[in-house]
């Protein structure tokens, strides 16, 4: 029992266990300091994150703005490039038009020079034509003067503005009343006239018949046509070209001698022969 009542013996302590232990610090102050530090760091971290986020957003907006500006710049550059291309094309077209205008101007100048040369040539030719026409007119005048002199020895012949007119009246050919036939004694006169007319060239011959005032106008008109036709037929038989001879009757119009005496009526029963240049139109009596 004694054994059980004995207190248990502690083990013997070593010298180190008997040395005093260091005093422990209060953990509450340091914890608060650490917590405050963590909070401060967290605050600055959050603030830094917000600043970074704001900067990222600002940079994003700047990037979008720069992209927008870049797109606009590209569009302007593209537009400017198109304008430059169009300007170059316009300049090329303008250069072509200028070259064409220069060529047209040179051609116009050449045509103007040619026109001036042609005008000068035409003037020279016109002058020469006028000279030739004047020479021709003088030749015609001389020929008409000669014909008037020659034909005047056969029958009464006078000058007109268009040529010559021979009057075959009672002094050269006498037509009986209401007759159109040519008597044998007057055929020699027509033969002499035909011989002269066959020597000329470039003239047309017009034969006009007339009557006196006895009878109706209709009858006298037909009678005058028969007298003109009779003279024309004799001239053709004598050798004149029928293509250059034209006949027409005027009846009792345009009497040679006014009055109703037998002598006046005998002179009005006549035929006239007009001789004109073929370039003229002789449609009426050459008075």
Q: What's the rounded Cα separation, in Å, for the pair 115 and 127?
A: 18
Considering the domain boundaries, does residue 271 fall inside one? yes
From 133, 163, 190, the end of a domain falls on: 133
The pLDDT value recorded for residue 238 is 93
Contact criterion met (CB below 8 Å) for 248 and 222? no
The mean of the pLDDT values for the chain is 83
Considering the domain boundaries, does residue 58 fall inside one? yes
Q: 3-class SS at 248?
A: strand
Q: Do 172 and 270 sit in the same domain of this protein?
A: yes
Considering the domain boundaries, does residue 82 fall inside one? yes
Q: Do 200 and 269 sit in the same domain of this protein?
A: yes
Q: What's the rounded Cα separation, in Å, for the pair 64 and 279?
A: 99
pLDDT in tens, 204-232: 999 999 999 999 999 999 999 999 999 99
pLDDT at 180 over 60: yes
Considering the domain boundaries, does residue 27 fall inside one? no
Q: How far apart are the first and last CA of the chain?
A: 208
Q: Do 171 and 56 sit in the same domain of this protein?
A: no
Q: What is the span of the domain harbouring residue 111?
A: 32-133
Number of H helices and E strands in the chain, helices first, is 5, 5
Q: Do 125 and 187 sit in the same domain of this protein?
A: no
Considering the domain boundaries, does residue 3 fall inside one? no
Domains in the chain: how many in total?
2
Q: Do 119 and 166 sit in the same domain of this protein?
A: no
Considering the domain boundaries, does residue 106 fall inside one? yes
* The Cα angle at residue 275 between residues 272 and 279, in degrees rounded to 5: 140
Considering the domain boundaries, does residue 11 fall inside one? no
pTM: 0.55
pLDDT in tens, 114-141: 888 898 998 889 889 888 888 878 888 8
């Amino acid at each position: 029992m004694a054994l059980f009542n004995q207190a248990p013996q502690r083990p013997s302590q070593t010298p180190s266990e008997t040395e005093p232990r260091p005093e422990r610090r209060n953990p509450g102050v340091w914890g608060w300091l650490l917590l405050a530090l963590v909070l401060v760091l967290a605050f600055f971290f959050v603030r830094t994150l917000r600043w970074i986020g704001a900067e990222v957003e600002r940079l994003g907006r700047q990037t979008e703005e720069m992209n927008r500006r870049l797109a606009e710049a590209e569009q302007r550059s593209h537009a400017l490039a198109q304008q430059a291309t169009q300007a170059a094309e316009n300049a090329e077209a303008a250069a072509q038009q200028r070259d064409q205008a220069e060529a047209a101007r040179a051609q116009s100048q050449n045509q103007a020079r040619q026109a001036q040369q042609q005008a000068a040539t035409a003037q020279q030719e016109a002058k020469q034509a006028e000279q030739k026409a004047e020479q021709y007119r003088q030749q015609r005048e001389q020929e008409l003067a000669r014909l008037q002199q020659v034909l005047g020895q056969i029958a009464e012949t006078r000058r007109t503005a268009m040529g010559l007119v021979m009057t075959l009246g009672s002094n050269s050919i006498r037509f009986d009343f209401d007759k159109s036939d040519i008597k044998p004694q007057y055929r020699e006169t027509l033969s002499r006239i035909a011989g002269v007319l066959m020597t000329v060239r470039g003239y047309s011959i017009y034969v006009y018949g007339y009557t006196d005032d006895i009878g109706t106008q209709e009858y006298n008109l037909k009678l005058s046509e028969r007298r003109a036709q009779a003279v024309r037929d004799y001239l053709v038989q004598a050798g004149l070209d029928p293509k250059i001879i034209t006949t027409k009757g005027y009846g009792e119009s345009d009497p040679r001698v006014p009055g109703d005496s037998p002598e006046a009526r005998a002179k009005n029963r006549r035929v006239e022969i007009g001789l004109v240049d073929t370039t003229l139109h002789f449609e009426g009596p050459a008075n």
